[in-house]
Every structure is written in C-alpha cells, then in structure tokens.
C-alpha cells in the first residue's frame, strides 16, 4: 500500500504557502523572497502567528468557483497544469514523427480540446458498446459483455486489478474487490439523513436524465433508472463499509479458481477470466467474498432487461466526460455540484489534461522533464535526499530514548530505503498504442485497453521494483513499504512562478 507523503516535500509546502500574486521582495541574493510576500504585517505574530505568516496569501487566493477547496497543493497544481498545457499545445502544433510520444500527446490534446468535434460526434463513439449491450438475449450473455467492458476501463459488478501480493511482495497477484456502484460507497444507499436521501433522489434523476440523452423517452428512462438503483442497492447491501475495508487481513482471502467457482455456483471463473484476457490465473485474492456471492446470485436471478439498463448506464457514465456537452454537463451537475459542491465545471483544458495524464502519463512525463526538470535539477534533488538521509541518521544516533540495538535496526532500514527522485530510469513504452484525432472517446478506450494489458502482463512475473506508481508530473510523493522505497516525483519540487534555478537552497530545503 502506498502512503502519500505530503509533508516530505517541505520545499513545496514552503514555496506554495508563501506564493502570492503580489511582487515578492527580493532577498539578499536577488531572488524572490516568497516567505515575505505571504506575511500580513497588520497582525501581531504573538496574537495569531498563522494569520501573520499566511494572511496575505490567503487574501490573494480565494477558492475558485470551479473548485471545492484551495490551498498549498492547488497552487502547485496550477503551476504544473500550466506547464503541461504548454507542453501539450506545443506537441499538437509540432510536425511529430508518427508513433512518437510527441505525436501521441499532440493528437490526444488536439482532439480532446475540440469540443465542437465532440458535440458533432454525439454518442457515435460509444455506439458499438451500446449495441453490444442491446443485443443481449438472456442473462447468460451478461458475463461476456462485462468481460469486454472491463479492459475498456469500466468496472460493472467486479473490480479486478493486478498488484503486488500483500503477503508475498516478490509476486504479482490478481485481486478482486467489490465494485459496481455509481455512488461513492455503500452508506450513500442506506443512510437516512436528509442530505443522503436527497443525494439518492438526485442520483436516480441523473441516471434517468442520462438515459434520456441516449434517446430514451421519459417513461423508459425513469424505469431503467429505477432498475439501476435497485440493482446497485442490492450490491451495496453486500458491500463492506469503509471502516471494514481498512482491515488488510479481513480483505485478503486467497482462493483457487475452483474455490471461487464454489463460492459463486453457476459461474465459470476460468472461462470468465479467459474472456477478460487473463488466461494464466490459478489463484485470486478476493477482498470481499460475500460481495461475490451476491454477484453470482444476481447473474442467475436478475432479468436481462435489468442488466441492459445497468450496463448501458455503466458504459455511458464512464465515458460521459469524453462525449458531447450535454453529457458533460449532466454528469457535472450530479458528481460535481450535488456530491462535491463545486459551483462551476473546471475548464475543458484541465479536464483533458487529466485524461491525458491517465492515458499517457509516462509519455507526457518525458516531455515534461525534458523542459522543466533538467539533469542538473535531478542531480540537485538527489543530493538533497542524500543529505536528508544523512541528517536523519545523525538524529537517530543522537536520540536518548532508543536503545543501541534499536538504533542499529533503524539505521539499517534507513540505509536500505531506495529513493526515487524526479523521474524513472525506465519509461513505459507506448509504441503499440494508437492515438489519433478521430475522437477523444476512442483514444481513452484504447489507452484503457493498453493499460489493462500492461497490468495483466505482469501476472506470473517477478515484481518490477524499478517501476514508479506516480508520474513525474504528479504533485505528491509516497512511501511503498512493500519495496521499502520513497518516491519523489519532479512536480513535488515545483515552485509557482519560479524555475528550479531561481529557487535558493534555503527555500528548497
């Protein structure tokens, strides 16, 4: 399990906490004094040090209408988004070699930012999937359709993923977790407070409105929305609560495929996995066995019309952000405003960048670090990490509450940590992924399929400990206990308005 380390990149926290739109006073070295620019000197530090240190920054950074919060991370993300936007614009304008990262980024951006094209295409990009669902004759056809949708990025009913085995960190394993809900978690289906009840009603309206956008009349759309809600409520009853999902031992249940078949009579998982492309599966780690018992029962008892409604909703919900504006707006009204409280949708270019990041993260990362994280910057932060480790080792040696044997163990673990700074030494190879300017939806589908195959290909192979769980342009960091590694992406060192060379060591540290 990765653990975010927001506190580790202290330089980012300091830099963004002090950044403001006003001109920062230059320090003795002539570089901007970002700390001074954040001060509110009308407040006495002895009375309210927080307001004294951050007051001007807070006044200059109101929460945007398109966001539900603001703060340190938001400001760094703005800077990173701006850099990635320019990188994508430049790629779209370039005469790039076919199949290159630049061509893929440029084409993804160009068709993604073209809202007029998306409006013209309407639901055409998902029509083959809708037709596949509509062609189902009986409930026996459902597993095959689900097996087709999962590699596309949709997770109806089942949530397969390939990850390190939590009890054997050298091995990659196939996990099955509870899935298939359109609301954030099971509590939204059962809590009786006024807000949650209103959300449930709004959700059913949203599902019905989406069906209407697909061309269904009001009566049919409302009936299908009711079918979706009823099926999801049944799934939610067998889903574990958030607090129960936090127990790693109770959510680790290794089974053979034969045992999984016994858990869900009537389901042939070997065949089902094969339809999903996982032909070499002998064992699987089932997070919530009771959920999959319910899945098996539903596949035997629910009529095909219920499944048509449910699967149509799932495919449309997943790709609504890539479709025409009515689908984008309808989705935002519920998931953005009703659930999150956002007053305005984020600009299209930011939404496209998010999709680009998900689809082509390493390709975008290579272009990003080439421009904004030069080799000398990587060398600088490699040195920073080494110095921090050295300082921490001294701290361990000097503390009086640790026994000598404990210090030996602590120092041994410290020196065995693998630091990964800036960007990976080995990048993902997207050469067999086709990205063009036909439609944003098609690009996202193909990228999801590529990522699915990439993960599936790890089954039965040793863990690749050189792989990163984040891209260089991600503003975050993490510690992975399974690999005893700390990962600090390039964006963790970004300072708004400043290139790396303009940030002095005091600010960086």
Residue 367: predicted pLDDT: 97
Query: pTM value?
Result: 0.87
Q: CB of 446 within 8 A of CB of 435?
A: yes
pLDDT, one tens digit per residue, over 9-26 is 333 333 333 333 334 555
Residue 27: predicted pLDDT: 56
pLDDT, one tens digit per residue, over 47-86 is 999 999 999 988 988 887 767 777 777 888 889 999 999 9
Q: Which residues pair with 173 in a beta bridge?
A: 163
Low-confidence residues of the chain: pLDDT under 70: 1-32, 66
Q: Which residues pair with 371 in a beta bridge?
A: none
Residue 17: predicted pLDDT: 37
Q: CB of 185 within 8 A of CB of 232?
A: no
User: Cα(47)–Cα(2) distance, rounded to whole angstroms?
Assistant: 39
Q: CB of 489 within 8 A of CB of 477?
A: yes
User: Cα(430)–Cα(399) distance, rounded to whole angstroms?
Assistant: 49
Domains in the chain and their CATH numbers?
A: 3-20+61-118+349-508 (no CATH), 136-322 (1.10.1380.10)
Residue 455: predicted pLDDT: 96
| Geometric angle at alpha carbon 301, from 296 and 304, rounded to 5° | 105
Q: CB of 96 within 8 A of CB of 102?
A: yes
């Amino acid at each position: 399990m990765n653990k975010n380390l927001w506190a580790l990149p202290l330089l980012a926290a300091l830099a963004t906490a002090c950044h403001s739109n006003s001109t920062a006073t230059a320090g003795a070295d002539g570089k901007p004094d970002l700390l001074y620019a954040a001060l509110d000197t009308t407040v006495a530090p002895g009375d309210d040090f927080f307001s004294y240190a951050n007051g001007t920054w807070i006044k200059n950074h109101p929460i945007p209408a398109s966001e539900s919060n603001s703060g340190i991370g938001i400001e760094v993300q703005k800077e990173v988004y701006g850099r990635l936007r320019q990188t994508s614009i430049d790629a779209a304008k370039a005469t790039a070699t076919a199949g290159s990262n630049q061509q893929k980024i440029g084409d993804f951006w160009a068709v993604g930012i073209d809202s007029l094209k998306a409006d013209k295409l309407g639901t055409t990009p998902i029509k083959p999937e809708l037709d596949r669902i509509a062609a189902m004759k009986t409930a026996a056809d459902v597993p095959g359709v689900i097996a087709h949708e999962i590699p596309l990025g949709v997770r109806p009913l089942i949530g397969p993923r390939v990850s390190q085995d939590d009890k054997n960190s050298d091995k990659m394993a196939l996990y099955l977790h509870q899935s298939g809900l359109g609301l954030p978690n099971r509590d939204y289906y059962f809590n009786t407070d006024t807000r949650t009840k209103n959300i449930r009603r709004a959700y059913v309206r949203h599902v019905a409105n989406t069906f209407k956008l697909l061309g269904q009349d009001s009566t049919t759309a409302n009936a299908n929305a009711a079918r979706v809600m009823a099926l999801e409520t049944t799934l939610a009853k067998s889903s574990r609560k958030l607090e129960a999902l936090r127990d790693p031992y109770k959510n680790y249940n290794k089974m053979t495929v034969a045992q999984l078949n016994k858990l869900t009579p009537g389901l042939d998982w070997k065949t089902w996995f094969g339809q999903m492309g996982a032909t070499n599966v002998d064992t699987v780690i089932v997070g919530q066995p009771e959920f999959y018992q319910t899945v098996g029962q539903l596949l035997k008892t629910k009529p095909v019309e219920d499944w048509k409604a449910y699967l149509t909703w799932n495919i449309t919900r997943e790709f609504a952000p890539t479709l025409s504006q009515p689908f984008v707006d309808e989705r935002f009204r519920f998931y953005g405003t009703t659930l999150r409280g956002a007053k305005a949708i984020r600009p299209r270019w930011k939404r496209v960048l998010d999709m680009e990041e998900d689809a082509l993260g390493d390709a975008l990362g290579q272009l990003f670090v080439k421009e904004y994280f030069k080799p000398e910057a990587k060398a600088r932060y490699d040195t920073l990490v080494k110095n921090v480790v050295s300082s921490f080792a001294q701290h361990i040696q000097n503390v009086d509450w640790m026994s000598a044997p404990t210090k030996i163990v602590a120092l041994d673990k410290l020196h065995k940590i693998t630091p990964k700074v800036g960007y990976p030494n080995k990048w993902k190879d997207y050469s067999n992924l086709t990205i063009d300017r036909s439609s944003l939806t098609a690009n996202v589908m193909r990228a999801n399929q590529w990522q699915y195959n990439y993960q599936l290909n790890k089954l039965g192979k040793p863990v690749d400990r050189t792989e990163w769980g984040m891209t260089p342009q991600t503003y975050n960091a993490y510690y992975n206990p399974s690999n005893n590694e700390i990962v600090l992406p390039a964006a963790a060192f970004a300072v708004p308005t400043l290139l790396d060379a303009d940030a002095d060591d005091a600010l960086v540290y």
